[in-house]
Every structure is written in structure tokens, then in C-alpha cells.
Structure 1
Amino acid sequence: MSIYVAHRLFAAHDRALAADLAQRLAAKVGPEQVFLPFCDTDEEDLVAEVKGRRLFELDRERLRTLDAMVALLHGPSLDDGVCMEIGYAVACGVPVVVLSTDFQTYSLSETGPHLEFPDPLIQAVATRIVRVPRLGRPPTPEPPAASRFAAFRSRNLSQVDSALDAAVEALLDLPDGPEHQVSQSPFTSPSIYVEASPYGVWGDGLAETCRATGHTVTLPQRFNAPDPVAAALLDLTAACAATRLLADVSGPETPPGTALLIGAATARGVRTAAVHPRPTYTHAHGREPNWRNLMIQYATEAHLNTPEAVQAWLST
């Protein structure tokens, strides 16, 4: 059973949490069956002409050979690289267990149905969701002279332990066979799925630009549907069936559902472009500057930052 641990890479505590999960999995299925990004791509010491692209290629190769994925997602700002990897895995029929210790739930309107994650796509595609939102119980009896801070730390660590153990159990209990057989029937005319960003500056302008060039446009349904989870699956199918995906990736990170659709479309061979008019760049040792998470940057074939660039891409 080959298992991929998808996690946020950029802070030590995130990497440590993922390593703890990988160690528990390795004890059950063998260390050679568990892939831990950053650790197993040797990121700190890897030397390549274009390091970010090479890291993307290594991860993509691994994503194509999985039996299962476990993804660590915490809080309202979900890592766009992890969400892209979830979409890629789902489009390949790989079951995905999502683990969260977030104590909040989310809704798309004040009275709408509560969701486990800010974008219903995550909930829609997950084979299992392991959610442990409450702190562990206070120690009984309380250790003598324990400070309230030490006790609070202990309760948080207990919560994490419970979550990791539950994720391992969920992975070992996954059903056999592929998940989410997404239709890929082409439309009868040139089609493009347009995914806007709530942080974007163009509003409906992207869709109008596509229609002006003769494309049939499909827009997401999940944000306004009475059943956002069911509508999210329709969005996934539509994005994978389109001839092109045009995604506005503006924001502090690529919006999570957008990142997931980019991953799924990339796995299915859909031509994908990212609209990002105001990029900020990230820098890491030995790596070229990236204008977005490298999984987003290299999954998309073009970075478009003006209406003219969008029109040029649509004409190719």
C-alpha cells in the first residue's frame, strides 16, 4: 500500500506533524510504502537546474503511483499545494483521507449548511474526513506544580495524538478500488471552465473574455447551490471535461477549491492557465523565484496577468 502524506511544507511544526504521521503509518505498512514530501525529495540538499520544477516533477511522478493519500489541512487558509495534490490524486482515482484538528465549521451563507472546510470541493472529494476538533481531556490527577501553560500544551498534544491515530486507522480501513470516476466526455464546441477568485480584480470579466472569443463557458455552481457538496462534484466533472481551465489564483494563497481543480485538470490533460495580475514571489535556498506555490506554478501551462494575455492564450 503506497501512501502519500500531503502537508504544508513551510514551517518546522508542519513538517514535524507530518513526520509523526508518516512514522505511525510506517509502523503499520512499512517505511518503504510511505512517501513524505520534503523528507523524501531531499529538498534542502537537492541540486537541479530549475529546482522548483524538478520538485514538481518528482511529486507528480509519485502522485501517479499511489494507493492512497492522507492530507493534513488545518484552519481556514488551506495550503494550495496540498489542495492541488488532492485534486490530482482524486482525478487518478486515488482515495484521499483528510485530517483536520480545526474546531470551526464553515458555511457559504449565514444560514447555509455547515461544511468541514471553507470550500465544499474538499469535503466532496474526500473518501474519509478525520476531524478531531476538541482538546484532549485535562490530566487526572493534575501533576503537582504544573503550570496552566504546560497543561494546555499537554491537552493540545493529546488532541494531535488522537487525530493521527484516527487517520492511520482510516487509511488502513479504506475500501478497495478507485474513487471518484470523473467523466471526461468532451463538449461539442470549444469549452472552457472559468474559476474566479474572491480576491480577483476582474469579476465576471474572465468569463466575458472567453465568450467573446467563441468559447462555451462553464462557471462553478457550488457557491450558490442549495447542496454545495453535490454541486462541487458537478464542478469537478465539468472542469475535467472542459478543453481548457482558466483559473484566477489571486489571493494570499490560491483559493483551495481552485487549487484542487487545477490538480484534477492537470491529471486529466486539460489545458490550464493561471490568472494572477498581482503576484508576490517566494524564495527558498537553491530554488528559482516562484510567483505562486510551485505545484500551482508548474501545473499550469501559462501565467496570465493582463486581459491581452488571456486573449492570446485563448487563441492558441
Structure 2
Amino acid sequence: MYYIAHRLFAAHDRALAAQLAHHLALKVGEHQVFLPFCDTDEEDLVADIKGRRLFELDRERLRSIRALIAILHGPSPDDGVCMEIGYAAALGAPVILLTTDFQDYSSAPAGPRTVFPDPLLDALATRIVRVPRLGAPAQQPGTSRFANFAARNHAQVQNATEACVEAALQLPLPLPTISVPIRDGSTVYAEPSSYTAPNYALPGRTTIAGVTVLGPTRFEAAEPIPAARHDWAAALSSTRIVVDGSGPETPPGAALLIGAACATGRPVAAYLPRSTYTHATGREPNHRNLMVQYGLEATLRSADEVTAWISG
């Protein structure tokens, strides 16, 4: 089954994902494509704890997918989508990332560029399908420049959809088997927030109560993508993972690692001193994203709680 991960919270995002799912289903059959929100009946689903039930339904699909196709745009990738990418990648499923973003990203003005704001996304992608330019100018006399611009964007989306379906069909068979690294019982991987200054005193610390604390190398590396692969291996070889969830939404790297920990059974906690809650009809309040919320073992509200969780 192909799992299509996408931002859920605006009609145009859901429409784009549905268009992609439709064109892929024409090639592989509808039963081979899973589209969240649509296939979990999110708008009409009734459950005692609706957010948790949605998490469980999506997680069930993620554990048996042929590949994950994720739609990502802009400098703030959706944290739920990143969580799903991390989950799939940790289990060895191919990951196709689709973007129409025309920007590159770097950690310094003249630094090495990546397709996505966090190099870990570039590193985890089996294939990146990037269609950053508008379609050809429309030749429709009598229409406004705005209608012509809309047509060029529709053409760009169509091109992206077709390229992504072709990439999915070209994935190799059978799937490679990827083993999860053996855990080292004395290490914790700590991921800071890319949005804020460090909020707990881990950078520069090598041990806490006898536990070795590892951190990322990719943000300052001359070659960020190989460094991102090193960070991924370090996180998956650690016993536990702690992330700083501070920012407008959970940072991409943090969300990726929450997904990976959830997939592989590692305890994972997030430092989040202040939650922003989301509300939807029939659903319990969720802090930010329900996929991230229910993938966590613990939410830590202070630096002391972070230190206690690492040493505990």
C-alpha cells in the first residue's frame, strides 16, 4: 500500500493530496492507496478519544506500507507529515518527497544548500520529486492575468503529480530489508529546536548521571546530508531520544525522530514548556499535532524535567 502524507488543515492541501492519490490509484488500484483524512473518515469519525483513534488508524497503515509519498512545501514543513516520514524511514520503507517549493535552504548565507530546511529530510528521501517552476504561460485571449497565473499553477501541480506517480511506479521490487541498529544502553540522543536558542543545558554536555548525550552534527557541517545520515544513525543507536519541540510547530528534525522512535519502540520525550492546543469537532484538545502528541512517551515542561528524564 502507498501511504500519502500531507498537511490536512486547508482545503487546497487536501485537494492536492487527493489529486495525487487519484492518479496513483489509476495505476495501482484504489485498494493500494491510503489517503489520511479521507480514508480515516476524519470529519465524521466518532470515537471516545478521537485524536488517539486517528493516530492508531494511521499508525496501523504505516506499519505495512509499500512506500510513503509525502507532500512538503515551504520553510516550515508540517510536523505530522515529518513524524510519518520518520516512522516509515525507520522501518525501511521507501520515502518519496514531493515539493513545488522554488526555494533552497542553508544554515548560512553562503553555506551548502539543501532542498528542505532540515538536511535530515533530504537524507531520508529515497527520491525527491521537485517541480519548482510554474507551467507554461496560458494562451487564452480575453482572460485576466490572474486567471492565466492560476492556470500556470494548476499546470505546475499537474506536472508534479505526474512526476510523483512515475517515481512511485519506478520503486524497486522487492523492497530492501533494513535492520534497526542495536541500542546502546548508555546513550540518549538530544535534538535541539531549529527555531529557538537552546532551552535546556545539553549542548556541550557529554554525560548526565553517567548517560552519554549525543547531539546533531548536520547544522554546522560542510556536507550537511552525510552529516544528517550520521545523526539519524546516532539517534537510532541510542536507547532513548529527547527533542526540543519549541517553535511555531514541532521542528522537522524533532518530528522525524519522534516518528522513528515510535516505529522502533524507543522511548521519546519532548521538551515543550508551553503548548498551543488545536481543537476540532468531536476531538479532544491536542497540543499542535496529534501524530506528534501520541507518538511521545512524555512531555517535559522544564529543563530540570529534561535532565531527570535523561538520567532516569
TM range (shorter): over 0.9
Contact 1:125 1:180 in 2 (8 A): no
Equivalent-residue separation in structure 2 for 1:242 and 1:125 (angstroms): 18
User: 1:67, 1:95 within 8 Å by CA — same for their partners in 2?
Assistant: yes
Instruction: Tell me which of 157, 161, 166 is aligned to 2:158.
Output: 161
Letter in 1 for 2:37: F
2:251 is aligned to 255
Q: Contact 2:208–2:310 at 8 Å: present in 1 too?
A: no
**Aligned AA (2:133):** R
Distance in 1, Cα, partners of 2:209 & 2:257: 23
- Kept in 1, the 8 Å contact 2:83–2:292? The answer is yes
Q: CA distance change for structure 1 residues 211 and 6 in 2, over 3 Å: closer, same or farther?
A: same
Code of the residue aligned with 2:239 in structure 1: it is: T
Please state how far the C-alpha of 1:207 moved relative to its aligned partner.
Answer: 5.1
Q: Does 2:286 align with 1:290?
A: yes
Contact 1:191 1:217 in 2 (8 A): yes
CA-to-aligned-CA distance 1:61-91 (integer Å, 9 cap, x gap) = 1000000111000111100000110010011
**How do 1:75-90 residues align onto structure 2 when only pairs under 5 Å count?**
75-90=74-89
Q: CA deviation at 1:178?
A: 3.7
- The partner residue of 1:185 within 182, 186, 190 is 182
Residue 161 (structure 2) pairs with residue 135 (structure 1)? no
Question: For the Cα contact (< 8 Å) 1:106–1:117, is it kept in 2?
Answer: yes
Query: Would you say the 8 A contact 1:21–1:164 is kept in 2?
Result: yes
Please list every run of 5 or more consecutive structure 2 residues that lacks an aligned counterpart in the other structure: none
Q: State the distance in 2 between where 1:29 and 1:240 align.
A: 33
Task: Report the Cα distance in structure 2 between the residues aligned to 1:265 and 1:180, rounded to whole angstroms.
Answer: 18
Determine the C-alpha separation between the residues in 1 that align with 2:222 and 2:276.
36
Q: Does 1:236 align with 2:232?
A: yes
For 2:310 and 2:259, how far apart are their aligned partners in 1? Answer: 20
**AA in 2 matched with 1:218:** L
State the AA in 2 paired with 1:94. Answer: A
SS of 1:247's equivalent? strand
Once the two structures are superposed, residues 180-218 of structure 1 have per-residue CA deviations (whole angstroms, 9 ceiling, x without a partner) of 83651222x521000011334544514578833221011
SS in 2 for 1:86: helix
* CA distance in structure 2 between the aligned counterparts of 1:313 and 1:219, rounded to whole angstroms: 16
Unaligned runs of 5+ in 1: none
Q: What secondary structure is seen at the aligned counterpart in 1 of 2:277?
A: coil
* Counterpart in the other structure of 1:195: 191
Question: Distance between the aligned counterparts of 1:78 and 1:251, measured in 2?
Answer: 12
What is the TM-score normalised by the length of structure 1?
A: 0.94
**Is contact 1:262–1:300 with CA below 8 Å preserved after alignment?**
yes
Q: Which residue type is aligned with residue 264 of structure 1?
A: A
- 1:130-152 Cα offsets, whole Å, 9 max, x none, are 1000000012xx22211100000
Q: Does 1:46 find its partner at 2:42?
A: no
**Structure 1 residues 293, 132: closer, same or farther in 2, change over 3 A?**
same
Query: In 2, Cα distance between the equivalents of 1:179 and 1:291?
Result: 36
- Structure 1 CA distance for aligned equivalents of residues 17 and 157 of structure 2: 11
Q: Deviations over 1:5-30 (max 9, x none)?
A: 10000011100110000000110000
Report sequence identity in percent. Answer: 59
What is the 5 A alignment of 1:38-117? 38-117=37-116
What one-letter code is carried by the residue in structure 2 that aligns with 1:82? V
Q: What secondary structure does 1:243 align onto? A: strand
Aligned length: 312
Q: Is the 8 A contact 1:197 1:251 kept in 2?
A: yes
1:123 aligns with 2:119: no
Q: Deviations over 1:268-316 (max 9, x none)?
A: 1111001101211111111111112111111010011112322443354
Contact 1:207–1:217 (CA under 8 A) maintained in structure 2: no
Give secondary structure in 1 for the equivalent of 2:56.
Answer: helix
Contact 2:199 2:303 in 1 (8 A): no
How big is the shift at 1:111? Answer: 1.6
